[in-house]
Amino acid sequence: MANINSEKSYRAHIIRNKIIRYVVLVFLTIVCLFPLYVMFINSTHESHKIAQGLLVLPGTWFFKNLFNTLNDGSIPILRGLLNSLIISACCAVLTTYFSTLTAYAVHAYDFKGRKAIQTFILAVMMIPSQVTALGFYDLMKTFGLLDNYIPLIVPTIAAPVVYFFMLQYMQGALPLEIVEAARIDGSNELRTFNSIVLPIMKPAIAVQAIFAFVTNWNNYFTPNLIIKSQRLYTLPIVIAKLRAADFASFDNGKIYMAMVLSILPVVVVYVFLSRYIIQGVAVGSVKG
């Protein structure tokens, strides 16, 4: 009888803990999603209603705000979306590929100065981009690359944070015996990397591709430093220009609609790449 009561008490304790965890998770989810909900709700209302205070129910101005935002000749929203998409996609691809390639070189080769290179890369990781902004601007001006996408894309090849993440993942997921077997079979290093290492690294690449895409999508500082032509504006610059309008032409509905439009590509990228993360967790690196 005592054992039965003890078992019931244990089950009740487990159920109570599960309920507490679920309540906490639901609460945190609401806290995280509430700002997005408010943003979407505000995009469906007129500007003067948004200025009155917090709105919790959707309005009827969604399509009106959408039309006004897309047809504002002074603020090229669609062009900004395209520009940001090009830059973010290129940065995500280059960052993940070359960072994984660098991590593979450090992980798979035992060469003189390897530890010094690792230390140097980690030291570079500690330097904020704002510290080097003036020198970077002067360098791009000397090369004649101002008002150009090259300074926004090419430097992302060197990404110490992504390299460090890839190296840590590789040390646990990539046995060197696989690389040695490929070499014995006559595979060259680049083919080994593209055919064997990259499939094994899919979950890590997907994670870092999402981070790289979102980081460059939301980047305002560097594009605002480099880009001067309106046709090359990225979406954060376009939204900033929209918010900087004078009071007479200030439209909250258009601003919130622009924010809604800016989130959609990020959601699409996350949905597309998240399946690779799930595959990696469920199947493991052996499948790759």
- Which contacts of 226-232 are long-range, i.e. CB under 8 A and separated by 24 or more positions? 226/137, 226/140, 226/145, 226/146, 226/147, 226/148, 226/151, 226/152, 227/147, 227/152, 228/146, 228/147, 229/147, 230/76, 231/76, 231/79, 232/83, 232/147, 232/148, 232/149
**Domain region containing 7:** 2-62
Is residue 97 assigned to a domain?
Answer: yes
pLDDT for residue 248: 55
13 and 152 in a single domain? The answer is: no
133 and 10 in a single domain? The answer is: no
pLDDT for residue 283: 45
Which CATH number goes with the domain that contains 112? 1.10.3720.10
Report how far residue 231's alpha carbon sits from residue 79's, in angstroms, rounded to the nearest whole number.
7
* DSSP annotation string for 4-19: HHHHHHHHHHHHHHHH
Is residue 214 assigned to a domain?
Answer: yes
Is residue 288 assigned to a domain?
Answer: no
Going from the C-alpha of 199 to that of each of 94, 99, 173, 287, the distances in angstroms are 16, 15, 11, 8
Which two three-digit tokens encode residue 234?
Answer: 């990225």
171 and 189 in a single domain? The answer is: yes
69 and 35 in a single domain? The answer is: no
225 and 89 in a single domain? The answer is: yes
Nearest to 263 by CA among 229, 235, 244: 235
34 and 95 in a single domain? The answer is: no
pLDDT for residue 151: 92
158 and 37 in a single domain? The answer is: no
Along the 288 residues of the chain, how does pLDDT read in single tens digits? 555 666 677 777 788 888 999 999 999 999 988 988 999 999 888 888 888 888 888 888 888 888 888 887 777 888 889 999 999 999 999 999 999 998 998 888 887 878 888 888 888 888 777 788 888 889 899 988 899 899 999 998 888 889 988 988 888 888 888 888 888 888 888 888 888 888 888 888 988 898 899 999 989 888 988 998 888 899 898 888 877 665 556 778 888 888 888 888 888 888 888 777 666 555 444 444
H/E element, 140: helix 133-142
Is residue 275 assigned to a domain?
Answer: yes
Is residue 56 assigned to a domain?
Answer: yes
Report how far residue 232's alpha carbon sits from residue 234's, in angstroms, rounded to the nearest whole number.
6
Is residue 250 assigned to a domain?
Answer: yes
Final residue of a structural domain among 24, 46, 62:
62
14 and 47 in a single domain? The answer is: yes
96 and 218 in a single domain? The answer is: yes
Structural domain count of the chain: 2
Neighbours of 233 (CB within 10 A): 23
143 and 80 in a single domain? The answer is: yes
Final residue of a structural domain among 13, 45, 62:
62
Final residue of a structural domain among 16, 31, 62:
62
53 and 26 in a single domain? The answer is: yes
Q: 3-state DSSP call for residue 175?
A: coil
State the pTM of this model: 0.82
208 and 269 in a single domain? The answer is: yes
